[in-house]
Structure 1
Amino acid sequence: MGEMKRNVLIIGAGGVAQVVAHKCAQNNDLLGDIHIASRTVSKCEAIIASVREKGSLKVDGVLQAHAVNARDTAEVAALIRETGAQIVINVAQAFVNMPVLDACIETGVAYMDTAIHEDPEKVCEAPPWYGNYEWKRREAAAKAGVTAILGVGFDPGVVNAYAKLAIDDYVPEPASIDIVDINAGSHGRWFSTNFDPEINFREFTGTVYSWQNGGWQENRMFEVGKTWALPVVGEQKAYLTGHDEVHSLATNYPQADVRFWMGFGDHYINVFTVLKNLGLLSEKPVTTAEGLEVVPLKVVKAVLPDPSSLAPDYTGKTCIGTLVKGMKDGQPAEVFIYNVADHKEAYLEVGSQGISYTAGVPPVAAAMLIADGTWDVGAMKNVEELDPKPFLDILNRIGLPTCIRDAQGDRPLTF
């Protein structure tokens, strides 16, 4: 651990980046200068205007926009050097993870992201997904003494910390880890995705991988569903879904079944199924009768609402948590550790809806722990490989409080 790290470079300018910028600004006494970079500099400038308008800066400081092609390692490295950033928060599309990570290793600065790298040409690669890309840079990160925290959004991210806390303190012999993600909010549109439609639909068109009975199990999307009785949002139908955190948790806790469940309404499933069956979710170009070459998925993205435009009208709550079952002291034990977030409260505070809020607050908590040295470990880590308590303690303070449900009922958790 060297000197304290300061100065943040945020890569990306979507709904999550907006939350990250506001939260960095609210903690800029610790985090220092804030730089935002994206292909479209006007989007970065709009986020800066929002930060200034809401008076989010805690102390006077640098808040600057930049244009960058994040798929170009050399360009990202040059921007890191130019800005003097020591912490990079990558919340751009998952297609840029590897070039940005490589730029951080090259310049010796801390890296974090909120999702696994994706190759635009490939959908649903062989598990464990991290092994195809990020984990291949483990040695390089360690050699450079670079702290790289992978998947530090909410899920993946906070739910991994919940799993670690559950196993450390409540269920030391885990038999199953189930992550449940319910958005019980309403955006008032006929149909929309809550984040980038390209990434959203890619998540659901491939094989659903879960880790069960010591091996990878394959299912189809919407094949396995169950109703969950959850705090605040009540009974909700959720489906076994492929997701990033399954791939690191299964590697770190191979003795436990690891599954991810996401809530979907019938309307979403119907629209998704029609789009998929018509071929409109395909990434392979087609040629129209007029000779125009188009990618169906990009056309669907163009006609759907921009997810960041949903925020003003969004109402209702999210409930996302980790249920761990197993044994403690020879007795069956189970615990559900979770967060409930409110779309309207998120919008009033930072101008984003709750899905962006839950994804954008955690990397800032991680940045604060890198800045003060607690998580500045000089190596590549998934969230469950780090001490969860300081992380969840900061989240309690900056907008994502942790709750627990066990034999004693539901209550807030403090650290």
Structure 2
Amino acid sequence: MKKNVLIIGAGGVAQVVAHKCAQNNDVLGDITIASRTLEKCEAIVASVREKNALKVDGKLEAHALDAMDVEATKALITKTGAQIVINVGSPFLNMSVMSACIETGAAYIDTAIHEDPMKICETPPWYANYEWKRREECEKAGVTAILGAGFDPGVVNAYAKLAYDEYFDKIESIDIVDINAGDHGRYFATNFDPEINFREFTGQVWTWQNNEWTSNKMFEVGKEWDLPVVGKRKAYLTGHDEVHSLSHILKVPTVRFWMGFGDHYINVFTVLKNLGLLSEQPVLTAEGQEVIPLKVVKAVLPDPGSLAPDYTGKTCIGDLVKGVKDGKEREVFIYNVADHKEAFEEVGSQGISYTAGVPAVAAAMLIATGEWDVKKMANVEELPAQPFLGLLNKIGLPTRIKDENGDRALEF
């Protein structure tokens, strides 16, 4: 049984992870939060203590750490006795943090695919560019590395696995739909790190259709979806992490990801992109200063964590799965609805951070108890879905299903 958690990152998702680890520290043990900015880590510790979130007495500490420094990360893992590392920092950190885990024997969890800061929308399949190249290294070291254990990727991968195992004999397509019907009241803001958010949408959109990679431009293909609770919403075909693993691991002919966007977001995004302000390449100002436009935009936009107090409305994220069962065509929608205000009241973060952070803690708990301590690298769809979804039902992200038998909660 593994215990003691090191959380890397100090943004909105890290705050959710810290609160949820505290609520379950009888299973997870000591909690350490580390990032480059010590003050942000200390603020999270203070918020956890303010809400008396610790289930039992235990350590809750903040540390400064440059997680790109493998030796420093190894030293902190050793110093804190952390046997589980939850990486919710920038995706640029993934390979460095994974190296530290492999060399110390700590289990590794992340919520998004690794990115090279100088490359946008690399050629698919993305996991094969970085993470999957280290499968043998993880297995040889006996280190559990769970990739993409947020919501999307993460929970939606588990929904696909559940459908694959229990609801279909053959799956023809999986459409992952992510709708945020909330309102933060700001003129323009992103729900997570603006740099990472924009990078997702400035390159090609890669989807897996009819057993081959298909490329589109962002906002080129849109569709109106009618979903539970949030109703009719426009979503656009978007490249996303889970498309790359689900297409490879479950061998489904068509896997697509759709994200909801309002006209205002699209208009502002388009202007920024056309002006070159979303470029990751450095430019020289008239004063002779070298700046990266994307980082300047990030600096002037609201911190995503600051949106939480005023956020209202709900999210709906799920998998529409089509295929055949017992010789008959069928479709099911497996999904979750989260509430921004409820998330803030519980953990001080908005719903997008909540849906990303809670699953990472569930994954950590399953590693701690041994159910997911597989001692090798795995994407979520390679692991048993029921323990994960059952635990999420208990700690804040209940699963529902809509099919020919109606719309109902799923119990595990």
TM over 0.5: yes
For residue 205 of structure 1, give the secondary structure of its aligned residue in structure 2: coil
After the TM superposition, which residues 11-410 of structure 1 pair with which residues of structure 2 at under 5 Å, given as runs?
11-410=8-407
1:217-259, Cα deviation, whole Å (9 max, x unpaired): 0000000000011000000100000000000001012242000
Cα deviation, residue 346, structure 1: 0.1
1:174-213, Cα deviation, whole Å (9 max, x unpaired): 0001100000000000000000000000000011000011
Superposed CA RMSD: 0.6
Cα deviation, residue 299, structure 1: 1.0
1:95-137, Cα deviation, whole Å (9 max, x unpaired): 0000100110111110000000000011111100000101111
Cα deviation, residue 271, structure 1: 0.3
Contact in 1 for aligned 2:174/2:252 (Cα 8 Å): no
Partners of 1:224 and 1:96 in 2: how far apart? 32
Contact in 2 for aligned 1:188/1:313 (Cα 8 Å): yes
Cα deviation, residue 292, structure 1: 2.0
Partners of 1:172 and 1:119 in 2: how far apart? 38
1:384-410, Cα deviation, whole Å (9 max, x unpaired): 000000100110000000000000111
Answer with 65-74 or 306-315: which moved more: 65-74
Q: Normalized against structure 1, the TM-score is what?
A: 0.99
1:264-313, Cα deviation, whole Å (9 max, x unpaired): 00000000000000001011111222222211111111111100000000
Contact in 2 for aligned 1:152/1:366 (Cα 8 Å): yes
Partners of 1:172 and 1:287 in 2: how far apart? 57
Contact in 1 for aligned 2:118/2:281 (Cα 8 Å): no
Which amino acid is the alignment partner of residue 138 of structure 1? R
Answer with 88-97 or 296-305: which moved more: 296-305
Partners of 2:283 and 2:225 in 1: how far apart? 41
Q: Normalized against structure 2, the TM-score is what?
A: 0.99
1:142-176, Cα deviation, whole Å (9 max, x unpaired): 01111100000000000000000011111220000
Which amino acid is the alignment partner of residue 103 of structure 1? A
Partners of 2:76 and 2:257 in 1: how far apart? 37
1:349-395, Cα deviation, whole Å (9 max, x unpaired): 00000000000000100001000000001110000000000100110
Partners of 2:400 and 2:296 in 1: how far apart? 41
Identity %: 76
Partners of 2:116 and 2:143 in 1: how far apart? 24
Which amino acid is the alignment partner of residue 232 of structure 1? V
Cα deviation, residue 67, structure 1: 0.9
The number of equivalent residue pairs is: 412
Cα deviation, residue 73, structure 1: 1.2
Cα deviation, residue 78, structure 1: 1.0
Contact in 2 for aligned 1:171/1:324 (Cα 8 Å): no
Contact in 2 for aligned 1:86/1:109 (Cα 8 Å): yes
Partners of 1:285 and 1:94 in 2: how far apart? 20
Partners of 1:110 and 1:49 in 2: how far apart? 26
Could you list the structure 1 runs, at least 4 aligned residues long, displaced by more than 4 angstroms after superposition: none
Which amino acid is the alignment partner of residue 94 of structure 1? P
